[in-house]
A and B are shown apart, each in its own frame.
Chain A
Amino acid sequence: MPIIEVDNVSKFFPLHRQSKIFLGRGGPIGRLLGKKNETFAAVSELTLEVEAGESVGLIGRNGSGKSTLLKLLAGVTLPSEGTVRVGGRVASLLELGAGFHPMLTGRENVYLNAGILGMRHAQVDKVIDSIIEFSGIGDFIDQTVDTYSSGMYVRIAFSVAVHVNPDIFLVDEVLAVGDEEFQRKCRTMIGSLREQGKTIVFVSHDLGTVHALCDRVVLLHHGKMISRGTPQTTIDYYLRQVGHEGGIHTMASGAVEALFSHGRITVFKDQKEITTAGGLCTQILVMGTYHESTSADWQIVDRTPTSCTAVGTMSRLPVTLHCTVWIDGGNICARWSWKQSQELSVEAVYANCFLPASYTRWYYGLEKGEFPVIQPDDLDWSIVVSPVTGCLTCTILAGDDVACPPVHVDWQDCPANVSLRLDNTNYLSNARVAHLVQRIPSTGSPLPAGEYAIGTLTITPGYSRAALDAFLQAYRESQTIVMNGYDLILEHGAVQIFSGKTPITQSIHFQTQMLVAGLWNVSQTLKWSRPQATGRGIGALGESLRFPYHQEWELWQEADGCHFRCTLIALEPLETDEYNIAIGLAGGYDHWETPHETGTFTEFVPGLEEWKHLNRDYKPGATLAAWGVDLPRIGLKLLSQELEFHPTVINTGFTQSARVLQFIRTPGRQSHLEFNPGRHLLGEFVLTVEPPHEQ
Chain B
Amino acid sequence: MNTPLYDSTRQRDVLPFFLAIVRGRELLMDLVRKDLRARYRYTALGFLWTIFQPLALMIILTFVFKYVIRLEAAVDSVGNNREFAVTLLCGLIFWQFFAEAINNATHSMLENQNLINKTRLPREVIPLAAMGYPLVNCSIGFLLLVALHLFFGGALSLALLWLPAIFGIQLLLVIGLGFFLSCTNVIYRDVGYIVGVALLFGFYASPIFYELPAVLQATESGNMPSWMAYAYLMNPLAELFTAYRQILFESRFPDWSMLIWPVLCACGALLIGVITFRKQAATLSDHL
Interface residues of A (CB under 8 A from B): 1-3, 5, 13, 20-22, 27-28, 71-72, 74-79, 82-90, 92, 94-95, 98-99, 101, 103-104, 108, 111-112, 115-118, 120-121, 144
- Please indicate the chain A residues that have their CB under 8 angstroms from the CB of B283 in the complex: 77-78
CB pair B8 A79 closer than 8 Å: yes
Q: Is the CB of B282 within 8 A of A101?
A: no
Instruction: Give B residues with C-beta under 8 Å from A.
Output: 1, 3-9, 11-12, 26-27, 30-31, 33-34, 37-38, 41-42, 114-121, 187-188, 190, 282-286
CB distance from A112 to the nearest CB of B (A): 5
Could you list 13 examples of A-B contacts with CB < 8 Å?
A: A74-B119, A77-B283, A78-B11, A86-B5, A98-B115, A99-B114, A99-B118, A103-B38, A104-B34, A104-B37, A108-B37, A112-B34, A116-B27
B286 in contact with A13 (CB, 8 Å): yes
How many angstroms from the CA of A203 to the CA of B242 in the assembled complex? Answer: 59
A85 in contact with B8 given A76-B285, A98-B114, A99-B114 (CB within 8 Å): yes
In the complex, how many angstroms separate the beta carbon of A115 from the nearest chain B beta carbon? Answer: 4
* CA distance in complex: A75, B121 (Å): 9
- CB neighbours of A87 from chain B (8 A): 1, 3-5
Q: How far is the CA of A414 from the CA of B106 in the complex (A)?
A: 64
Decide if A101 touches B38 in the complex (CB within 8 Å).
yes
Q: With A94-B119, A103-B38, A115-B27 in contact, is A1–B1 under 8 Å at CB?
A: yes
Complex: how many Å from CA A84 to CA B6?
A: 8
CB contacts (< 8 Å) of B116 on chain A: these are 76
A residues less than 8 Å from B188 (CB atoms): 20, 22, 27-28
Contact check, B9 vs A83: say whether CB atoms are below 8 A apart.
Answer: yes
A104 to B9, CA, bound (A): 37
Give A16 Cβ to nearest chain B Cβ, in Å.
Answer: 13
Of listed A22, A89, A101, residue having the most chain B CB within 10 A: A101
B52 nearest CB across to chain A (Å) = 21
CB distance from B45 to the nearest CB of A (A): 17
Taking a contact as CB atoms under 8 Å apart, the answer to whether A98 and B118 are in contact is yes
Q: Which 10 A-B pairs have the closest CB atoms?
A: A98-B118, A85-B4, A103-B38, A75-B120, A86-B6, A84-B8, A115-B27, A94-B118, A87-B1, A95-B118
Cα A120 to Cα B22 in complex, Å, equals 12
- Return chain B residues, CB-CB under 8 Å to A86: 4-7
Assuming the contacts A104-B37, A121-B26, asked whether A112 and B8 have C-beta atoms less than 8 A apart, the reply is: no
For residue B193, give the distance in angstroms from its CB to the closest CB of chain A: 12
* Set of chain B residues within 8 Å of A74, measured between Cβ atoms: 119-120
Residues of B within 8 A of A78 (CB): 8, 11-12, 282-283
Q: A74-B120, A78-B282, A98-B118 are in contact. Are A89 and B34 (CB under 8 A)?
A: no
Whole-angstrom distance between the Cβ of A329 and the nearest chain B Cβ? 53
Interchain CB contact under 8 A, B120 and A104: no
Tell whether, in the assembled complex, residue B26 and residue A77 are in contact, meaning their CB atoms are under 8 Å apart.
Answer: no
Alpha-carbon separation in the docked complex, A477 to B287 (Å): 73
State the CA gap A115–B33 with chains docked (Å): 13
- Least Cβ–Cβ distance between B38 and chain A, in angstroms: 4
**Across the interface, which residues of B come within 8 angstroms of A1, CB to CB?**
1
Do B286 and A92 touch (CB < 8 A)? no
CB neighbours (8 Å) of B5 from chain A are: 86-89
Cross-chain contact B282 with A77 (CB below 8 angstroms) = yes
Q: Which has the most chain B C-beta neighbours within 10 Å: A94, A101, A103?
A: A103
Complex formed: what's the CA distance from A92 to B284 in Å? 18
* Residue on A nearest B9 in the bound complex, by CB: A83
> CB distance B8 to A83 under 8 Å?
yes
Structural contact, B38 and A76, CB atoms closer than 8 A: no
A76 pairs with B1, CB closer than 8 A? no
Q: Please determine whether B6 and A76 come into contact, CB atoms closer than 8 angstroms.
A: no
- Residues of chain A lying within 8 A (CB to CB) of residue B187: 20
**Which residue among A76, A111, A112, A121 has the maximum number of chain B CB atoms within 10 Å of its CB?**
A76
Give the distance to chain B from A497, nearest Cβ to Cβ, in Å: 68
Nearest-neighbor residue (CB-CB) of A94 within chain B = B118
Apart from A90-B6, A108-B37, A115-B26: 16 A-B pairs, beta carbons within 8 A: A3-B1, A28-B188, A77-B282, A77-B284, A85-B8, A92-B120, A94-B118, A94-B119, A98-B115, A99-B121, A103-B38, A108-B33, A108-B34, A111-B30, A115-B30, A116-B121
Collect the chain B residues with CB atoms within 8 Å of residue A77's CB. 282-286
B222 CB, nearest partner CB in chain A, Å = 41
In the bound complex, CA of A489 to CA of B25 (Å) = 79
Complex alpha-carbon distance, A312 and B119, angstroms: 36
Q: Is the CB of A116 within 8 A of B119?
A: yes
For B122, the closest partner residue in chain A by CB is: A118
A593 to chain B, nearest CB (A): 82
* Chain B residue, CB-CB nearest to A112: B30
- Given the complex, which residues of B lie within 8 Å of A75, measured CB to CB? 6, 8, 11, 120, 282
Looking at the assembled complex, report how far the CB atom of B27 sits from the nearest CB atom of chain A, in whole angstroms.
Answer: 4
User: Which one of A88, A98, A111 has the greatest number of beta carbons of chain B within 10 Å?
Assistant: A98
Which residues in B have their C-beta under 8 angstroms from that of A84? 6-8
Residues in B with CB closer than 8 Å to A104 are 34, 37-38
Q: In whole Å, how far is B143's beta carbon from the nearest beta carbon of chain A?
A: 26
Taking CB atoms, residues of chain B closer than 8 Å to A27 are 188
Q: How far does the alpha carbon of A108 sit from the alpha carbon of B34 in the complex, in Å?
A: 8
Closest chain A CB from B140 CB (angstroms): 21
User: Once the chains are docked, how many angstroms separate the CA of A414 from the CA of B208?
Assistant: 84
Contact B190 A22 (CB under 8 A): yes
Once bound together, how far apart are the Cα atoms of A21 and B11, in whole Å? 27
CB distance from A333 to the nearest CB of B (A): 46
